[in-house]
Structure 1
Amino acid sequence: MNKPLALLGGTPLCQQSWPQWPQSSATTRRHLDAVLDSHRWSISGQYRGEPSWEERFGKAFAQYTGAGHCVPASTGTASLTMALEACGVGAHDEVIVPGVSWVASASAVLGINAIPVLVDVDPHTGCLDPARVEQALSPRTRAITVVHLGSAVAELEQLCRIASDRGIPLIEDCAQAHGARYAGRHVGTFGAAGTFSMQHSKLLTSGEGGAVITDDASLARRLAHLRADGRILAETAPSIDEMELVETAELMGSNYCLSEFHAAILIAQLELLDQQLAVRRTNAHRLDALLRSLGFFPQETSAGTTARAHYTYVVRLPEDLLERAPIARLGAALGAELGLPCKTMYASLNRNRLYQPASRPRFDLGREFADAVRPERYALPAAEAFSAATLALPHRMLLADAQAIEQVAAAFEKVAANAHQLCD
């Protein structure tokens, strides 16, 4: 298959239009109109005689995941920050953070003046390696955070055992895993808390947004205080035009509230989620088989996974292909054939240019702290290898039809066969 690559002026293999993201429905528009007409655009606005959209979404998402409680938040980063603080993490405490993740996994820990301890990952899933966690624990470890990455679910059975044996809370970062299940249960329900992001690219999105789920009522109460400047929703409905948030003076918080517009969108989007997940799973299963037959390695997941959620479709490239062309060029060539962004995976956090604690004066808390949070002090060979060999394709690709999925595999085959052109 010696053909000019589209990146270099050849004809793109795929000419079709791909599904767009985010997607909305008539229900989404009705909900937004309802918020506009309600004259209450935030939970900190005056009560209008009916439950807020934020409260409705919290109940709906708790029911969807099977969690006892859900506290919505403004972003995924805010959700993780709230969960860490609610679990008692504070200044100079250590928090286990997986070596491959979006930068917020580490920066949220820094944001509460705690120390992110970067820990290596499983080479096949890219998720936190339980064996490495045990080696990294210290008397100062106050929490373990685990990220379900791409389309993989981490090894929760072992991580839960480690956390339980040591009396350390496990916080699941499910920003990329809405609807994924392990041992038949929704991710986010295994640890002390599960955090979610509803940012633009996420599987459940309102542009920006987040949530924390938990089965612990006292933890949920702390989360509620942390997200609304130390206020919580009143136990009984107030009079019209009165505030529904009441000041308890139990715990000082911050403003991480989700707006009524975002909450209304999320309730509508939640109705679409399972159907979209099912389409992605079917297409991903088909693409897995096609790519394996061509010598590529789709991202694996832990043995206990019972349902995957494909935030990105992650593929490890074979060594001989990586020897013939740089991975960034291979991703660009694949993207040009498909008309889709095909990006390299996040750089490991010890080498990630977005993770630079020394660039923020607020983290200048003395020499010992500065040395502890210096990312290059951590050796993460598996994380570095995973990042250096994998490409991530957007989940909207998996909402296309079966013929389009075959074209994705054909594009991989074309780029691999003509990789020599990328070095000319």
Structure 2
Amino acid sequence: MKGHVAGALRWRDLPAALLHAMRRGAGAVEDFRAAFARSLGLDPARAGEVRLFGSGRAALHAFTASLDLPAGAEVLLPGYTCVVVPNVFMHLGLTVRYVDIAAGDVNPTADAISAAIGPATRLVVVPHNFGLITEGLEALKARHPEVVFVEDAAHAWGSVDAAGRVAGTLGHAAFFSFEYSKPLTTGIGGALVIADATLRERFAARMPALHAPSATTIVKQALTLCWHRLTMSLPRPALGLLVAGLRAPSRLLGVVAKTPDSEVSGDTQPDYRAGLHPFSAAIGLMQARRFAEIHALRRAQAADYDALLAGLPGWIRPSCDAGRRGAVLLRYPVLLPDATARDAAIAALAHEDIVGGTWFDDVVHPRGSRRFGYTTGACPQGEHAALVVLNLPLGRHARLSATQRAAVRSIAERHGGPGGAR
């Protein structure tokens, strides 16, 4: 299958990571931190600029907690996001409000964010959904000096803005995710980047003590990572048989590591104090060392999709050309005419051994989440995008054959509609 997970991971990275972790111990975490900093063009020696956590949401939680925001402080979020982001602020007792994305896009504009900032706004989460940069952060910081701007760079490892500045270094701070489906994966993990020197010093004084995940947790994460990597190696019929045979025993034994349903619903909190295990860090290190190769491949694949879908009606490619030029996309997003066309295209892609993703399937993904602080109808463009978005896969395991490329073009022609691609 050509899919969306473990997109930079090679089988040989796993034994190499295990050997590195056994040799270096806790030093493997520092090795990965330094390599990840270099991939962002940052100096690894600059104290406290990059810190590693057990998840991206833990990084966001720790940073927000360090701000000691007053009671009644408000956080602005994009009206097209993942539930783990608003849940952080719910758990911290903060109020949230959502800013709608632009029509035909997956991010809000800087002007929309600026207009939404009110007297109580103290923090704004600025998304780079799918790796597409929200431009205008410098102007926002200058216009609203009382507000802290945090980049949600979970999708955007390697993307740069129109001026060539790297995602994760544009706001006051940023968080990254290393979850299974991200451009760089450690199984579960994340990073915090603090670009503002004053906030960096403040955070250092308030940095929570992190604990290493349990051996059981790491085994589950490793097995799940291996499973995801395996699914990217098998054709659809073989994968179907494997899934049918292993689904029941894996659930019975509890070997799958995933976000619990109770966390998605907001009924329980994740472990925000979990750190990154040396083995997980070593897995990340194997990929971070190859950042230029990984980013170049994704850019080339996105350009191939651009050419493949050029001139076709109905498959809208979000963001302007300038915004796309600097992107390293997590997935290749298109907006179809309606939900019926999207679902039909996904079914047709599956027959070609191509996974058609539906990130984000809700204005607060996934569908059925509590949608903390969201009122239905508040972000109509975000709600519409969730109904019609389709993702095409990128990464090492998403190299399409000539037959699959022709099939994508044919599917787009059959399931398009009025409007035209751009």
Preserved CA contact (<8 Å) 2:312 2:416? no
Matched residue SS, 1:36:
helix
Q: Superposed, which structure 2 residues align to 1:1-400 within 5 Å?
A: 21-22=6-7, 23-24=9-10, 26=12, 28-37=14-23, 40=25, 43=26, 52-67=27-42, 68=46, 69-89=49-69, 91-155=71-135, 157=136, 159-167=137-145, 168-182=147-161, 183-223=163-203, 228-229=208-209, 255-295=273-313, 296-301=315-320, 303=322, 306-317=325-336, 319=337, 322=338, 326-327=340-341, 329-349=343-363, 353-356=367-370, 374-376=373-375, 379-396=378-395, 399-400=398-399
Instruction: Check 1:19–1:88 CA distance in 2 against 1; reply closer, same or farther (3 A cut).
Output: closer
Preserved CA contact (<8 Å) 1:292 1:298? no
Unmatched runs of 5 consecutive residues or more in structure 1? 1-15, 44-51, 232-252, 358-372, 419-424
Partner of 1:367: none
Aligned letter for 2:370? Answer: Q
Shift of 1:129: 2.2
Aligned letter for 1:86? Answer: S
Matched residue SS, 1:195:
strand
Aligned letter for 1:412? Answer: I
Preserved CA contact (<8 Å) 2:29 2:281? yes
Could you list the per-position Cα deviations for residues 134-193 of structure 1 after superposition, in whole angstroms to 9, with x for gaps in the alignment?
2321111111111111141112x2x33223322111100110011111121210101011
Aligned letter for 1:314? Answer: P
Instruction: Check 1:294–1:312 CA distance in 2 against 1; reply closer, same or farther (3 A cut).
Output: same
Shift of 1:90: 5.5
Preserved CA contact (<8 Å) 1:153 1:301? no
Query: 2: distance between equivalents of 1:416 and 1:335?
Result: 11
Query: 1: distance between equivalents of 2:127 and 2:401?
Result: 30
Instruction: Check 1:221–1:302 CA distance in 2 against 1; reply closer, same or farther (3 A cut).
Output: farther
Preserved CA contact (<8 Å) 2:297 2:395? no
Instruction: Check 1:334–1:313 CA distance in 2 against 1; reply closer, same or farther (3 A cut).
Output: farther
Query: 2: distance between equivalents of 1:123 and 1:33?
Result: 49
Matched residue SS, 1:303:
helix
Q: Which has the higher contact order (CA 8 A, sep 6+)?
A: 2
Instruction: Check 1:134–1:333 CA distance in 2 against 1; reply closer, same or farther (3 A cut).
Output: same
Shift of 1:330: 1.9
When normalised by structure 2's length, the TM-score is 0.73
Query: 2: distance between equivalents of 1:329 and 1:93?
Result: 40
Preserved CA contact (<8 Å) 1:107 1:355? no
Query: 2: distance between equivalents of 1:192 and 1:273?
Result: 24
Instruction: Check 1:181–1:257 CA distance in 2 against 1; reply closer, same or farther (3 A cut).
Output: same
Query: 2: distance between equivalents of 1:256 and 1:35?
Result: 18
Could you list the per-position Cα deviations for residues 6-39 of structure 1 after superposition, in whole angstroms to 9, with x for gaps in the alignment?
xxxxxxxxxx87797352254542231232355x
Shift of 1:215: 2.8
Aligned letter for 1:98? Answer: P
Query: 2: distance between equivalents of 1:153 and 1:278?
Result: 17
Partner of 1:370: none
Query: 2: distance between equivalents of 1:189 and 1:344?
Result: 28
Instruction: Check 1:331–1:203 CA distance in 2 against 1; reply closer, same or farther (3 A cut).
Output: same
Shift of 1:204: 0.7
Query: 1: distance between equivalents of 2:299 and 2:403?
Result: 15
Preserved CA contact (<8 Å) 1:315 1:390? yes
Preserved CA contact (<8 Å) 1:197 1:210? yes
Shift of 1:222: 4.7
Query: 2: distance between equivalents of 1:416 and 1:27?
Result: 39
Unmatched runs of 5 consecutive residues or more in structure 2? 212-270, 418-422
Larger radius of gyration: 1
Instruction: Check 1:287–1:402 CA distance in 2 against 1; reply closer, same or farther (3 A cut).
Output: farther
Query: 1: distance between equivalents of 2:393 and 2:109?
Result: 25
Could you list the per-position Cα deviations for residues 21-76 of structure 1 after superposition, in whole angstroms to 9, with x for gaps in the alignment?
352254542231232355x4xx5xxxxxxxx2222222222222123520011101
Number of residue equivalences = 349
Instruction: Check 1:383–1:28 CA distance in 2 against 1; reply closer, same or farther (3 A cut).
Output: same
Instruction: Check 1:91–1:393 CA distance in 2 against 1; reply closer, same or farther (3 A cut).
Output: farther
Preserved CA contact (<8 Å) 2:349 2:411? no
Preserved CA contact (<8 Å) 2:2 2:400? no
Preserved CA contact (<8 Å) 2:6 2:182? no
Query: 2: distance between equivalents of 1:302 and 1:144?
Result: 26
Shift of 1:299: 2.4
Shift of 1:205: 0.6
Instruction: Check 1:17–1:199 CA distance in 2 against 1; reply closer, same or farther (3 A cut).
Output: closer
RMSD: 3.1
Shift of 1:345: 3.6
Matched residue SS, 2:415:
helix
Aligned letter for 1:118? Answer: Y
Preserved CA contact (<8 Å) 1:94 1:140? yes
Shift of 1:201: 0.6
What percentage of aligned pairs have identical amino acids? Answer: 24
Aligned letter for 2:355? Answer: P
Shift of 1:255: 1.9
